[in-house]
Amino acid sequence: MKVRLSYVALIPFLVFFMFPLYWMLITSFKTDTEITSLEGIPLIIQSKPTLAHYKKIFFEEKLPTWFKNSFIVTTLVTLITMSISISAAYALARMRFFGSQPLGIGIFLTYLVPPTLLFIPFYKVVGILGLLNTKWSLLIIYPTATVPFCTWILIGYFSAIPRQLDEAAFVDGASYFQMLTRVFLPVATPGLIAATMFAFTVSWANFLYPLAYIYRHDEQVLTAGIYTSLIKGDVYFWGELMAAALVASLPVVVVFAFLMDYYIAGLTKGTIK
Amino acid sequence: MKVRLSYVALIPFLVFFMFPLYWMLITSFKTDTEITSLEGIPLIIQSKPTLAHYKKIFFEEKLPTWFKNSFIVTTLVTLITMSISISAAYALARMRFFGSQPLGIGIFLTYLVPPTLLFIPFYKVVGILGLLNTKWSLLIIYPTATVPFCTWILIGYFSAIPRQLDEAAFVDGASYFQMLTRVFLPVATPGLIAATMFAFTVSWANFLYPLAYIYRHDEQVLTAGIYTSLIKGDVYFWGELMAAALVASLPVVVVFAFLMDYYIAGLTKGTIK
Amino acid sequence: MAKVVIENLSKYFDRVEAVKNFELEIDDKEFVVLVGPSGCGKSTTLRCVAGLEEMTAGEIHIGDQMVNDLPPRDRNIAMVFQDYALYPHMSVYQNMAFGLKLRKYAKAEINQRVREAAEILGIEELLNRKPRELSGGQRQRVAVGRAIVRKPSVFLFDEPLSNLDAKLRVQMRAELSKLHQQLQTTIIYVTHDQVEAMTMGTKIVIMKDGEIQQVGTPMEVYEYPVNLFVGGFIGSPAMNFIPAKIISKDSELSVDAGSFELVIPSEKEQYLQGKINEEVIFGIRPEDMQDKSFAEKSIQGGSIQAVVEVVEPLGSEVQLFVISGEHSLVARVDPRTQARLSEGIKLVLNMDKIHIFEKEPPHFRVKTEERP
Amino acid sequence: MAKVVIENLSKYFDRVEAVKNFELEIDDKEFVVLVGPSGCGKSTTLRCVAGLEEMTAGEIHIGDQMVNDLPPRDRNIAMVFQDYALYPHMSVYQNMAFGLKLRKYAKAEINQRVREAAEILGIEELLNRKPRELSGGQRQRVAVGRAIVRKPSVFLFDEPLSNLDAKLRVQMRAELSKLHQQLQTTIIYVTHDQVEAMTMGTKIVIMKDGEIQQVGTPMEVYEYPVNLFVGGFIGSPAMNFIPAKIISKDSELSVDAGSFELVIPSEKEQYLQGKINEEVIFGIRPEDMQDKSFAEKSIQGGSIQAVVEVVEPLGSEVQLFVISGEHSLVARVDPRTQARLSEGIKLVLNMDKIHIFEKEPPHFRVKTEERP
């Protein structure tokens, strides 16, 4: 009952979230004539809806390739991020070594370093590694943004898990590995989900780096691909843009839809009580 | 003593932070000949250092204007963000109204909405408001990113302040305003500083929106200004780029240098014990 | 320095009635303790008096004034909170001076009052410290100091000792009692701990489920609890309750508890005539069950045979958990007892101190004596 | 089902010595309680036995085995933690079965053992609940259940009752005592609460600053504390300590406490001859100071005059905080006492029960009797 009511309060955010989606959806089915017409009403389709924009992006543009590239990059980045973040956060939250606390703070501060500052050195590093103009360059770059923040989120969750829980598992007969997989990580699930969502969203939606580092169409990812191919100077192909952006945001919507329940459950109930 | 030692553990992060700075500093004083020379050693100046790049960016480029624009935008955005976030976080952390908790979660989720999704609708909104191609557009756009996250940070800090503290102030004779200004906000200082730093850094360093929304040189801010004027296609003016990026990151470095102490003190000591 | 009258106070949270028709007159200079298990509405009542919670119905008078619509700052009260609620960013001095500053007292006056209070509480040397540099007991004292500098007409205490360890609690209890005598003010004190209530209160108000069960002095509620709940709540270890029947045999009344029968003293017979052959609950406090070998000879009592289950030596006495027939009982006996685990023991029950409760809720106590 | 021997255990944290040369033999089936104020090293000692903390020096034997280098899982121990440490994502059944599953017991065996333990603890109906759906007392029982299903040779308890309220603590104390008798295993129990130590332990180990002060049965440490610390730590309210001098007068020995002099019983004189004219600390427990009007006639004692500062009625007795000359004292007297605030009272001190401590640290107790 209580959980049901919680969802009601999420309505304004769903509106905020759904409104652009709706606008994009509507626009993507409008004909170019209607979009540019001065009598057009933004949120209603007046003339016949068309699939022309979708046809164009799927068959004429490289959209399927970009989608595949984005998918590969995002999956790998999320995996890399979570492996590093879980290890780092566990070490920082659990092991009392010299300076572990300021190290944790340092990690968070790193996240705050403006990308502008790192943009140019990264360009050189990627160049030296011979990864310029390939999607693999993003596997190097994205984790510099995702790892610090995810580690920071996880440190928070991990430190909230009482150390006695680990110790109870040890006394119960668990090895280190069993303690981690059967007690510690299951208890930290809400934190792991939150961090994964963050890593996924950031690497899926990042825009700046692929735009700057990748020129070859074949290697491009979705976000930058849409921008470069559908905005020429100040000419906007609105119909295609909307259709493409919609397709691009689908995975994020899907991830949120599936994990939201866990996420909210984790944040509201709290696991440790 | 203990605080001193904490700083030692920050060294790896200072290196991570300072290394690009040092590289930029060195390169910005090199002559163009040395930069492009194949015998050049990246981290050492071999021939005579030069101020030519600085002269160029300060006198030939619009850098002072951009700096001023960035400063205005960042200051205003930070002020707007903090006023909204403090009110929202206070309401959400303190007032038990229907659905206040999921509302807080919703705010955080909003922060996770990928900018790609908002990019195109925002473009239209800014256009309708007649702010396209002006720095004022950023005053509308940046807070959509900073307010949710800052509110979320502040909710965390605010909820950790025991409600009895407010009540003690009321019983002691404080009005609502006195309770806020003399007890509640001073106790929340570390949270306020963290949120301010975040708002400042994000609005100073954001890159995507000014690049897309502002074409007039006079209205441009620092980050995008540097990028558009010093990278022409795939020709990079390295000396100027480095000099400009260095100047651009100064304020962030200064803010961190001054507030780091409070920030770390807030995170390590905790105010409520 | 003020009388407090609470009339017909009710408080709902959503649909839950936290406090029901609470009626109480508190005389000037009284030390009233509201006591009860958690959720009984005692804290809510206190917070209504403080003005931190709005009442659903009723009236509260402090001194000559109806304070229903006054904010906390105009009620001339001071409050000590469970977690002390010291302002963490202020020194001890500033914490204590805060209320006076807000009321725009002169600097010299503030200084004098803070030092006076600090002296009473023995915290003069802590005035420049921050709360986080203090121990639990010191924080407790500062919280009290912050309340007394204002010289309010009523002090409110909300479980102020619950975060202290056992030793310190005993000490602070005595200190608060002394402070009350010294300041001669009205105190309303909330606690879930019946020991605090008994030892500190001049009047105890026992609450349960939002309702007052009994109001009285510590010895009154201990010796003449109005019902089963009060009988079990006050006193530790709790009173033993045994389902029994009043029977008449050989022209004497007895308590028949199945496995044993005990003769009721003749003075009490007149009160129990109406209960003959009725089922009741027979109550006896642990200290009124003595090891027969060391019992005072003067005790007028019946003895029962029991088997010892647990022996808890406390130094000055021994608590015995015993089984007699189908009943589990607790007795506090002389430390010289020879009771051994799983062995039998003869216990004497002081029948002058028995309690008879009705079988049906709310289990009222049956009158069995004239009160002095 | 096993003897535990701890030899010369030491543990440093950085440079701080948390436990110093700890030596203890624990017999099979003993219930040993380590007790002391916080920071005395009692928990660290327990954690060393559990294998959760590495020792700096020393040896620990459980049964016939030296376990220094064994991880916790190979030590055949079970532990109950202060915060229960139940796995929040598992049901009560899964919590209890976890240790058996890890040890690859057959399903039927696991099921049988869990149900058996649940029955002993009366938690059969909770088996499908999650820990967060349980009350404090229920969690406590599940934590104990998780320990007993494994049938370990030693149980370790780390302040298991400190999160329960007063009433529940009294109840769980008795339950744990019964459980010990039922299971017949060795138990090592850590607490800061001297009441728990007294009531549950068959042997008490009192620690302070990492060092053992005294080892003995509850009544031994209560009646013959080795030093001032133990005398003050065991018993509540704490023993009264009065700086005094042993004097010889009229061929009798007396304690001269300035404002009063008390004659020492002749049986004790022989032990105190060497202390004549020396400064000592005179100790007497609150229950050995009685209201003269209600004192047992048999008491051989001296009486003193005092002024009552605080009266704390507890129902079965009254605690009096009094001032006699320059000394503040606590007495536990008969509830019929007529003592009134700020009035005088005559107290009888039971001189057979006095304690004399040396003036110099560590304030050893001077022997004044033959022990039985």
- What are the residue boundaries of the structural domains of chain A, listed by start? 1-50, 53-268
pLDDT band at B261 (very low <50, low <70, confident <90, very high): low
B214 with B127: CB under 8 angstroms?
A: no
Q: Do B98 and A5 touch (CB under 8 A)?
A: yes
Reference A223, options A196, A198, A250; nearest CA is: A250
What is the least distance, in Å, from the CA of D86 to any CA of chain A? 7
Q: Residue ranges of the alpha helices (H) in chain C?
A: 42-50, 92-102, 107-121, 136-148, 166-183, 194-200, 218-223, 228-233, 266-272
Q: Do D174 and C310 touch (CB under 8 A)?
A: yes
- For residues D172 and B191, which has the higher predicted lDDT (pLDDT)? D172
Average pLDDT score over residue span D90-106: 95
Q: In the A/D pair of chains, how many CB contacts fall below 8 A? A: 64
State the Cα–Cα distance between residues C294 and B175, nearest whole angstrom. Answer: 64
For residue A241, the chain B residues in CB contact (below 8 A) are: 120
Average pLDDT score over residue span B149-159: 80
Instruction: Give the pLDDT score at A109.
Output: 62
Instruction: Give the pLDDT score at B216.
Output: 79
Average pLDDT score over residue span A48-68: 82
Chain B residue at shortest CA distance from C155: B171
Considering CB atoms only, which of A175, A178, A187 is closest to D88?
Answer: A187
Instruction: Give the pLDDT score at D371.
Output: 81
Q: Do C102 and B174 touch (CB under 8 A)?
A: yes
Average pLDDT score over residue span A54-79: 86
- For residues B104 and D165, which has the higher predicted lDDT (pLDDT)? D165
pLDDT band at B61 (very low <50, low <70, confident <90, very high): confident
Best A157, A165, A171, A185 member to test D by mutation, with max D CBs in 10 Å, is A171
Q: Do A189 and D89 touch (CB under 8 A)?
A: yes
Considering CB atoms only, which of B162, B171, B269 is closest to C78?
Answer: B171
What is the pairing mode between strands D261-263 and D252-256? antiparallel
State the Cα–Cα distance between residues D23 and D211, nearest whole angstrom. Answer: 10
Q: Quick: pLDDT tens for B200-211.
A: 888 887 766 777
Q: Which residues pair with C364 in a beta bridge?
A: C227
Does D313 contact C at CB distance below 8 Å?
A: yes
For residue B96, the chain A residues in CB contact (below 8 A) are: none
Does A109 contact B at CB distance below 8 Å?
A: yes
Considering CB atoms only, which of C174, C235, C342 is closest to D310?
Answer: C174
**pLDDT of B179 over the 60 cut:** yes
Q: In the A/B pair of chains, how many CB contacts fall below 8 A? A: 155
Q: Quick: pLDDT tens for D276-324.
A: 999 999 999 999 999 988 887 777 778 899 999 999 999 889 999 999 9
* pLDDT < 50 regions, chain C: none
Instruction: Give the pLDDT score at D215.
Output: 97
pLDDT band at B140 (very low <50, low <70, confident <90, very high): confident
Q: Quick: pLDDT tens for D210-250.
A: 999 999 999 999 999 999 999 999 998 899 999 999 999 88
Q: Do D310 and C235 touch (CB under 8 A)?
A: no
Q: In the B/C pair of chains, how many CB contacts fall below 8 A? A: 63
Instruction: Give the pLDDT score at B38.
Output: 66
Interface of chain A against chain D, CB under 8 Å? Answer: 162, 164-165, 167-175, 178, 182-183, 186-187, 189, 269, 271-273
Give the whole-number percent of chain C exceeding pLDDT 70.
Answer: 99
Our answer on whether B and A touch (3+ beta-carbon pairs < 8 Å) is yes
Q: Quick: pLDDT tens for A239-271.
A: 777 787 777 777 777 777 777 666 555 544 333
Give the whole-number percent of chain A exceeding pLDDT 90.
Answer: 12
**pLDDT of A11 over the 60 cut:** yes
Least confident window among A73-77, D165-169, D338-342: D165-169
pLDDT band at B103 (very low <50, low <70, confident <90, very high): low
Instruction: Give the pLDDT score at B233.
Output: 62
From the candidate CATH numbers 1.10.10.410, 3.40.50.670, 1.10.3720.10, 3.40.630.10, the one assigned to the domain spanning A53-268: 1.10.3720.10
pTM here is 0.83
Instruction: Give the pLDDT score at A253.
Output: 72
**pLDDT of D267 over the 80 cut:** yes
Tokens of C152: 């309010």
Does D236 contact C at CB distance below 8 Å?
A: yes
What is the least distance, in Å, from the CA of C74 to any CA of chain B? 7
Instruction: Give the pLDDT score at B268.
Output: 44
Reference D304, options D275, D274, D329, D281; nearest CA is: D329
Average pLDDT score over residue span D183-198: 94
Instruction: Give the pLDDT score at B208.
Output: 65
3-state secondary structure chain D: CCCEEEEEEEEEECCEEEEEEEEEEECCCCEEEEECCCCCCHHHHHHHHHCCCCCCEEEEEECCEECCCCCHHHCCEEEECCCCCCCCCCCHHHHHHHHHHHCCCCHHHHHHHHHHHHHHHCCHHHCCCCHHHCCHHHHHHHHHHHHHCCCCCEEEEECCCCCCCHHHHHHHHHHHHHHHHHHCCEEEEEECCHHHHHHHCCEEEEEECCEEEEEECHHHHHHCCCEHHHHHHCCCCCCEEEEEEEEEECCEEEEECCCCEEECCHHHHHHHHHHCCCEEEEEECHHHEEEHHHCCCCCCEEEEEEEEEEEEECCCCEEEEEEECCEEEEEEECCCCCCCCCCEEEEEEEHHHCEEEECCCCCEECCCCCCC
Instruction: Give the pLDDT score at A16.
Output: 62
**pLDDT of A3 over the 60 cut:** no
**pLDDT of D33 over the 90 cut:** yes
Reference D222, options D95, D27, D35; nearest CA is: D35
Average pLDDT score over residue span D24-49: 94
Instruction: Give the pLDDT score at A2.
Output: 42
Does A246 contact B at CB distance below 8 Å?
A: no
Does B118 contact A at CB distance below 8 Å?
A: yes
pLDDT band at B25 (very low <50, low <70, confident <90, very high): confident
pLDDT band at D77 (very low <50, low <70, confident <90, very high): very high
Does B84 contact A at CB distance below 8 Å?
A: no
Does A22 contact B at CB distance below 8 Å?
A: no
For residue D51, the chain A residues in CB contact (below 8 A) are: 170
Give the whole-number percent of chain D exceeding pLDDT 90.
Answer: 76
ipTM over 0.95: no
Q: Do A172 and D150 touch (CB under 8 A)?
A: yes
Does B198 contact A at CB distance below 8 Å?
A: yes
Q: Quick: pLDDT tens for C25-62.
A: 999 999 999 999 988 999 999 999 999 999 999 999 99
Mean pLDDT score of chain D, rounded to an integer?
Answer: 92
For residue C86, the chain B residues in CB contact (below 8 A) are: 168
Does A133 contact B at CB distance below 8 Å?
A: no
Cα C269 to Cα A193, C273, C348: the distances in Å are 72, 6, 20
Instruction: Give the pLDDT score at A132.
Output: 78
**pLDDT of D187 over the 50 cut:** yes
Q: Quick: pLDDT tens for A196-207.
A: 887 888 888 776
pLDDT band at A111 (very low <50, low <70, confident <90, very high): low
Does A91 contact B at CB distance below 8 Å?
A: no
Tokens of A119: 């943009």
Partners for A (CB, 8 Å, 3+ pairs)? B, D
Mean pLDDT score of chain A, rounded to an integer?
Answer: 76
Q: Quick: pLDDT tens for B112-138.
A: 565 656 666 677 778 778 887 888 888
Q: How many CA atoms lie within 13 A of C214 on its CB side?
A: 24
Q: Do C174 and D309 touch (CB under 8 A)?
A: yes
**pLDDT of A172 over the 70 cut:** yes
